[in-house]
Structure 1
């Protein structure tokens, strides 16, 4: 009898094949990898077993990951909403450039926009959105001194999202789309003067050797998602679903809490220290002044929001106004 029950138990085990973000950023080794490769098997008593690899190891790009999630080649994917923007600009709405300077506010924005993204993931990708979590905040790192937002005028600045391009054009600079792994090359060859990337990725990539100056205006958060293929989700039993949701919500909380501390650690390491991670970058960091923030507000309301509303359409904009707009006291579109 025990042989039969053992066989049934083996058949009941759910294997979830997952794809992570980048192995060289802290979210993957600290959170994504241990969660799927070990934690979920431990807490489920082997009932749910995960297997994950980072996207850079698999040689995949964002839009390919979304296609593979939709078709069920992957059961679960972590990634950035930018991966999905070929389908719809709605995916940009929770992380429009420079609107949010504070992580507690960004968490509220993510919660307010969650149902919108949840619907979009279901409709466009046959996937259930399980979580939204932030990477450390996106700031501006330059080869020459930047003492104010005005100093960005005319500079060629690396971007990786349309909304970041809107910000860059709003300050009178030139957006240049460059993949993250090409950033050092683009700086060395004078294709760009400045780079927008996260605080911790700027440190781990040793950008301080190429960009000695940082302007610590938050121009985005690199808000990321975790989503599961709906066909796979439907194969889980009710207790398995409950357990997975519970564990993912704990994971999400841990990631928000840690990102809040990572900015401070990365900025200390990029500048004069003390640095718990290794060498100090000795960058000169300049914080935005009150007048910089006023200019930022003007760019947000006159460039970033109107352009996005136009790309996304009136229905999308009015939904944003009812959700995120209420928290930020801002309006997209007319």
Structure 2
């Protein structure tokens, strides 16, 4: 393994007897986060700044042909030392993992950062208890919007449409506005559209451009229905093998990585929307998608669905203790209260 790592770009680093090798799994190689942040950090940066004390090797989950729920158990069992992913991977085992990215509650990335910070201790405890993992970071993908084959001029136009989702909370939103939620993996989206399994797709702005949705769904409704909030977590057994200086260095470098990822995501919506809709596009060929921004009336409907459908359904799934914790943390940031039955 060390020979292979030396060949991958860290040959200028001295591998000492106390070198820690960290095997990591990333998100998706075709999204910007992996080639821009995850891959350089583990395959190059961490060895350089640690003088070879910490050496990483990482591959994206699509190259490894892994699914999210598999990654969580592989991290728990120490097959991977570090994993990037979505908390939604773990929600089938405990709905507490949904709490920092419930659909449509947050429209502003600065507010989403406050939400992530408020919920970090909750997720940290959950990662340790459920997966023997130390939560190291939370960061967003570009915001999740709605892309359709037919014109959508308002939330009302979503009624009856079959809409691709990938998280339960997104399904709650779709059903709350009268649509039909259809679970489809990202790599199956083009086929699902071509075979008329779905009429619309929920995915991030940059991922919509990356997969070429402007060629398949000519219409975009730019209501933010989620952020695709992601995590970076380390196997606790491996963390405990680090010496104190290694822990300090890793904490410091991951804090910088996290800040960089938040800053980049803050700019990616604007870039992706321009590229999708015929604006200036420095990252490739521009599309010709028609974009419609939600009206004030749409935002009021969104708020109603959030309070009467999304929050009550999640409360039922998560239970009283989980809900009370959310109200003390995220709910306080947003000025919202989760209740099983809206008052």
Q: Give the Cα separation in 1 of the matches to 2:175 and 2:43.
A: 42
Aligned residue in 1 for 2:283: 277
Aligned residue in 1 for 2:246: 240
Aligned residue in 1 for 2:108: 102
Equivalent in 75, 84, 88 of residue 78 of structure 1: 84
Q: Which runs of 5+ in 1 are unaligned?
A: 1-7
Q: Give the Cα separation in 2 of the matches to 1:284 and 1:173.
A: 21
SS at match of 2:100: coil
Pair 1:47 & 2:53 matched: yes
For residue 14 of structure 1, report the CA deviation from its aligned partner.
0.3
Pair 1:188 & 2:205 matched: no
For residue 9 of structure 1, report the CA deviation from its aligned partner.
6.8
Q: Give the Cα separation in 1 of the matches to 2:154 and 2:92.
A: 34
TM-score if structure 1 supplies the norm length? 0.97
SS at match of 1:57: coil
List aligned pairs for 1:27-38, cutoff 5 A.
27-38=33-44
Q: CA-to-partner distance for each residue in 1:41-93, whole Å, 9 max, x for gaps?
A: 00000000000000000011111100100000100000001111122000000
Aligned residue in 1 for 2:272: 266
Q: How many residues align?
A: 327
Aligned residue in 1 for 2:3: none
Aligned residue in 1 for 2:29: 23
Equivalent in 111, 116, 119 of residue 113 of structure 1: 119
Equivalent in 217, 230, 244 of residue 211 of structure 1: 217
SS at match of 2:28: coil
Aligned residue in 2 for 1:3: none
TM-score if structure 2 supplies the norm length? 0.94
Any conservation in 1 of the 2:15–2:52 contact (CA below 8 Å)?
no
Aligned residue in 2 for 1:147: 153
SS at match of 2:56: strand
SS at match of 1:17: strand
SS at match of 1:201: helix
SS at match of 2:231: strand
Aligned residue in 1 for 2:5: none
Aligned residue in 2 for 1:4: none
SS at match of 1:11: coil
Pair 1:59 & 2:57 matched: no
Pair 1:226 & 2:211 matched: no
Q: Give the Cα separation in 2 of the matches to 1:333 and 1:70.
A: 32
Q: Give the Cα separation in 1 of the matches to 2:109 and 2:287.
A: 24
Aligned residue in 2 for 1:292: 298
Q: Give the Cα separation in 2 of the matches to 1:299 and 1:86.
A: 23
CA RMSD, 1 decimal: 0.9
Any conservation in 1 of the 2:16–2:52 contact (CA below 8 Å)?
no
Q: Give the Cα separation in 1 of the matches to 2:294 and 2:229.
A: 22
SS at match of 2:102: coil
Q: CA-to-partner distance for each residue in 1:82-139, whole Å, 9 max, x for gaps?
A: 1111220000000000000000000000000000000000000000000000000000
Runs of 4+ in 1 over 3 A off after TM superposition: none
Q: Give the Cα separation in 1 of the matches to 2:326 and 2:106.
A: 15
Any conservation in 1 of the 2:87–2:229 contact (CA below 8 Å)?
yes
Q: Give the Cα separation in 2 of the matches to 1:242 and 1:66.
A: 25
Q: Which runs of 5+ in 2 are unaligned?
A: 1-13
Q: Give the Cα separation in 1 of the matches to 2:160 and 2:328.
A: 36
